[in-house]
Amino acid sequence: MSFLAKIRSAFGRSKETLSAIESLGRARKPVDAAFWDELEELLLLADFGFPTTEKIIGGLRTVAKQELWRTSDQAIARFRKDVERFLTLPEAEINLAKKPAVILVVGVNGSGKTTTIGKLAQRYRNERKKVLLVAADTFRAAAAEQLAIWAQRSGADFVRGREGADPASVVFDGVQTGKARGAEIILIDTAGRLQTKTNLMEELKKMRRIIERELGEPPAETLLVVDGTTGQNAISQARLFNEATKLTGVVVTKLDSTAKGGVLVAIVDTLEIPIKFVGLGEAADDLRPFKPSEFIDALFEDSAA
Ligand SMILES: Nc1nc2c(ncn2[C@@H]2O[C@H](COP(=O)(O)OP(=O)(O)OP(=O)(O)O)[C@@H](O)[C@H]2O)c(=O)[nH]1
Ligand SMILES: [Mg+2]
């Protein structure tokens, strides 16, 4: 299934708010105070968040005045373009230029880190790349088991530490092993942690320092995995993880279970970090590179058809 078809069927389940935005355009209502209020409410419902909503509406109102818009279809057509522009950042491609390309994966508990790594491993193995998975989640033995299954399934190499070991030591082993075996991509899984727990964020900084020391440069990618159903807490996660580990990209998972696609726009807008992949289900091929134009087309299903 194409990204478009997949995301359409995923969103099809519960895309009321976004269809409502579309209907608001089709209704060709006058562009008046009531219209702006209605649009604002819909954006907040779709999880664009207050600051991003205000920015989008403020921009639209300015153009509405300049261009003397009369009906809401003009506003919604422009809205669509604005959202695409908001979502489009440079460096949106995953960076695999370095050998090995080290990808550190971080996020709160249950956001989908391990599953995302498994899907990435499968993707790169399909391209015949030499992939190493590193289980630096030493918090629970089950975490390493879960990653081991993905390694086995995809034919990736696998390194783990003892339960309770210092995750930084596992990262060290992982990078050493990867270099020695000529791995092209090293994916490092970390334990879920709350962005507000300072000691756990320090632990991440340490892992990053080890990678930097062993490679002579920062990891090729530090990806934050965010659960798309979380709502505005995703913004706080992105901000605090970015402070600790300087993120290069975000992966938004579980988009198949939410209508609140606006959170993607809020993340990119407030933090200027690109979304690199989206998760649309639990299977290996349910991770897709994120393409703003396709995403917008999927959201505005009817008008795109
Ligand atoms: N529907 C859906 N479920 C997903 C997606 N990605 C992950 N999941 C599910 O979310 C649950 C948690 O995923 P994990 O990959 O274990 O999450 P994690 O971040 O590694 O969790 P911790 O290691 O405990 O912090 C699992 O049941 C996954 O199958 C997705 O894109 N869509
Ligand atoms: Mg995990």
Task: Quote the CA–CA distance of 101 and 95 in Å, as a whole number.
Answer: 8
What CATH fold (topology level) applies to the domain 101-289? Answer: Rossmann fold (3.40.50)
Q: What is the pLDDT of residues 181-193, one digit of tens each?
A: 999 999 999 999 9
Pocket perturbation via mutation, ligand 1, pick of 149, 163, 229, 282 by most ligand atoms within 8 A of CB: 282
- Please tell me the distance from the alpha carbon of residue 198 to that of residue 200, in angstroms, as a whole number: 5
C-alpha 179 – ligand 1 centre gap (Å):
29
Residue 92: pLDDT band by 50, 70, 90 thresholds?
Answer: confident
Burial class of residue 205 in the structure, from the number of CB atoms within 10 Å of its CB (0-12 exposed, 13-18 middle, 19+ buried)? middle
Enclosing H/E stretch for 202: helix 198-215
Residue 189 Cα, ligand 2 centroid: separation in angstroms?
Answer: 7
Domain residue ranges of the chain, discontinuous segments joined by +: 3-87, 101-289
Q: Which of 253, 10, 11 is nearest to 112 (CA)?
A: 253
Q: Would you say the CB of residue 254 lies under 6 angstroms from ligand 1?
A: yes
Distance 23 CA to ligand 1 centre (A): 33
Give the residue among 118, 128, 168 at the shortest CA–CA distance from 148. 118
- Rounded CA gap, 95 and 202, in Å? 25
Listed residues: CB within 5 A of ion ligand 2: 113-114
pLDDT in tens, 13-61: 445 566 778 888 889 999 999 999 999 998 998 889 999 999 999 999 9
Work out the pLDDT band at 154, boundaries 50, 70, 90.
very high
Query: Which tens digits make up the pLDDT trace of 209-253?
Result: 999 999 999 999 999 999 999 988 999 999 999 999 999 999 999
Separation of first and last alpha carbons in the chain: 17
Kindly report, residue by residue over 112-121, the tens digit of the pLDDT.
999 999 999 9
For ligand 1, whether the C-beta of 282 sits within 6 Å is yes
Which pLDDT score, from 0 to 100, does residue 249 have? 96
Distance from Cα 301 to the centre of ligand 1, integer Å: 27
Percentage of the chain exceeding pLDDT 90? 73
Going by pLDDT thresholds of 50, 70 and 90, the confidence category of residue 91 is confident
Which two tokens mark 40?
Answer: 């604002």
- State which of 115, 146, 237, 280 you would mutate to test the pocket of ligand 1, scoring each by most atoms of that ligand within 8 A of its C-beta: 115
pLDDT of residue 295: 81
Asked whether residue 208 carries a pLDDT value surpassing 50, the answer given is: yes
Nearest atom of ligand 1 to the alpha carbon of 107? 19
CATH architecture of 3-87: Up-down Bundle (1.20)
pLDDT, greater one: 56 or 297? 56
